[in-house]
Structure 1
Amino acid sequence: MIGHIQTLGGFVSRLIVSAFLTFSMASSAAVASPPVEWHQCVKTMTYDLFYGSHKIGFFERKLSWENNQQVDIRSRSKLSALVVKTNFEQQTRLVWSEMKNSFITQSFNRSISGLIDGRTRGQFNQDGTRSDIVNDGEKLSFNSGDLPLLDVEAVASQMRLNLIQGKKTFDFKMQESDDVSHYYFSVAGEETLNTNYGKVKTIRVEQIKKPDREVNLWFAPELDYQLVRGTYKRKILDLKAVLRNKREVCPQSYFTHNLSEMTAKSSAIAP
């Protein structure tokens, strides 16, 4: 039982919760990458984590763009279930690749402390075809000739962009601490959920080709395509993450730009 609970600090924090995407992108399907004016705000998302009906901790992600070309993501979680306590922290740097039409991981640094301690560092080449990993001192290298190798933050970011672009199925190669996993997802339909932001219409995405588990992610287009709920069920595990709040800190130039844009649109439709 303790061994299963310990995976909360790993799988939930890396795949389920980190899939609660927090990039601000335009909602137009024609947009290949986020417009510059959306890169200025620092965004923080906080999620409550549950095991069954019991709250066991929280997960938080903070995103900051630099020079409109790359984004730094800092994520952390604290989990407590039975006698197990786990602290999770990760720093990731991503860039947008026009060649791959995808977010690409440049590097990540992950640490887990608690009953089981661990630290993983990763460096990726420019097009994501190679990764060099140091996992608790062990050096590993991986290569991919088709899909780029992505860390969990890049997977999360690309998944949200795929939904914005109207895609229904997608798959990723995700770099783990000591291996690469191929994940497949499919849009299962639309559902209305009760959330901390009231009733919202969502897009439900499910993981496929993994019959031993059930993974569902709910994204809300009216909340900037943020993910508002995620569940993971496997054997005795019954995990859930729920969006508690989201915060944005934007420079004055952001508001000036968007105010000018809104004024122009209002003038265009004025009688």
Structure 2
Amino acid sequence: MKVVRHWLAVPLVAMSMTGSSLVFAGEALASEKAASGQAALNNYHAIYEVQRGGSDYGEAMRKLESIGEGQYRLLNETQISFLFLSDVRRYDSRFAFAKGQVEPLEFHFKRSGTGRNKGIHVSFDSKTKQVKDAEADVALPVKWHEALMDEASMLEQLRYDLQHSEAKEFSYHLVDDKGEYDKQKFVRGEVETFTVPYGEVKGLRVERIRENSRRETTYWFAPEMNYVLVKMQQRKEGDEVATLLLEQLD
């Protein structure tokens, strides 16, 4: 039986650690980026194959587009099917980007297919420092952080920080697809060369740091392609769960 994981959306930086020094990236990186005028993200539309054991497992799409006034919309969708089972997950995130940091505005997640459907729709109110149920307009029990973001837009922050920072480790506060608070950590690895359906690429390896978990998640971002995600793999107890591979990029 196919095991499905909603692992396309990942990972604002709460802090970064390089060597033995601790850097509060939300302040230090923002000042550095503002001074250098780095305050924009590149639009892209990426299509991926999802495989398991070398066999077709489904497909995925990730699209980032500017919608004006320093705001962006991120769409992320996976469609996986196996025999009579299906799983479709859609992430829709709207956020602002200023001084090198993601500032979330609205996040919508929906899951459909075999089994129980589910979803959330939240908004971020920086004035009242609350995360709200966007439809009921009531606050959720999520502790506010100045570096808080949603699970989908977090990947755009990670991509940007890998490109504009020499930090080795990153830590992010976020609201996940259950509408709950989470914190995720990542460590920068080395650049590796490999082949995906798109062709031969060089990808910077990034590992997610998990505590007390049997799951392992690894990402590869291409420095020569504005750090777009070109490969992602999740394993559990050493066995492959699924691997995402870049097929097309606009």
Say which SS state the counterpart of residue 76 (structure 2) adopts: strand
Superposition pairs of residues 95-110 of structure 1, within 5 angstroms: 95-98=96-99, 101-110=100-109
Q: Which residue of 1 aligns with 2:245?
A: 242
Give 1 or 2: higher strand fraction. Answer: 2
TM-score, normalised via structure 1 length: 0.72
Aligned residue identity for 1:52: G
Aligned residues: percent identity? Answer: 21
Whole-angstrom distance in 1 between the partners of 2:173 and 2:75: 21
Q: Is the 8 A contact 1:134 1:140 kept in 2?
A: no
Q: How many residues align?
A: 224
**What does the per-residue CA deviation read over 1:81-107, in whole Å, with 9 as the maximum and x for residues that have no partner?**
343201222321010244xx5202100
Q: Is the 8 A contact 2:210 2:216 kept in 1?
A: no
Give 1 or 2: higher helix fraction. Answer: 1
Whole-angstrom distance in 2 between the partners of 1:229 and 1:206: 12
The runs of 5 or more residues in structure 1 that have no matched partner are 17-27, 248-271
**What does the per-residue CA deviation read over 1:128-179, in whole Å, with 9 as the maximum and x for residues that have no partner?**
953123699x97331234x522112221011001110132210112212142
Matched, 1:122 2:122: yes
Whole-angstrom distance in 1 between the partners of 2:58 and 2:222: 23
Q: Which residue of 1 aligns with 2:9?
A: 14
Q: Which residue of 2 aligns with 1:158?
A: 157
Q: Which has the larger radius of gyration?
A: 1
Say which SS state the counterpart of residue 214 (structure 1) adopts: strand
Q: Which residue of 2 aligns with 1:217?
A: 219
Please, what is the CA RMSD of the aligned residues? Answer: 3.0
Whole-angstrom distance in 2 between the partners of 1:170 and 1:105: 18
Q: Which residue of 2 aligns with 1:192?
A: 193
The 1:33–1:154 alpha-carbon spacing in structure 2 relative to 1, beyond 3 Å, is farther
Say which SS state the counterpart of residue 142 (structure 1) adopts: coil
The 1:226–1:31 alpha-carbon spacing in structure 2 relative to 1, beyond 3 Å, is farther
Aligned residue identity for 1:120: I
Deviation at 1:209, TM superposition (A): 3.6
Q: Is the 8 A contact 1:228 1:243 kept in 2?
A: yes
The runs of 5 or more residues in structure 2 that have no matched partner are 12-31
TM-score, normalised via structure 2 length: 0.77
Deviation at 1:218, TM superposition (A): 0.8
Matched, 1:34 2:29: no
